[in-house]
Amino acid sequence: MSLFCPLVGLALSPVLCTLGAVQLLCVVAAGFSRLAVGTRYEQGGQWLCLVALAVIGCVCGVAIQMGPDLAAACAGTLALMTMISVADFSAA
């Protein structure tokens, strides 16, 4: 079963759309944790990012069974989230 998207003219799989939404939400969680540094939301942002990293790690494990392209996209999301979490963007 697939969904037809009239804007793009493609048939989209619900599984593919769900995995894309999960990846997008995980990147947003990592960005929020970075933006929350120094605010009262810092600890909550860190926990949210940790949970999002665990979720995308599990999604990577499941995506390996669905094909190499999907697994590579999930691994790229995991790498991007790690860079957002670890990199120091201060001008010091």
Q: Residue 6: pLDDT above 80?
A: no
pLDDT at 44: 94
pLDDT at 66: 87
How would you write 3-19 as a 3-class SS string? EEECCCCEEECHHHHHH
For residues 58-82, give the mean pLDDT.
Answer: 91
pLDDT at 13: 77
Maximum alpha-carbon separation in the chain: 53
Q: Residue 71: pLDDT above 70?
A: yes
pLDDT 10s digits, 35-65: 998 899 999 999 999 999 999 999 999 999 9
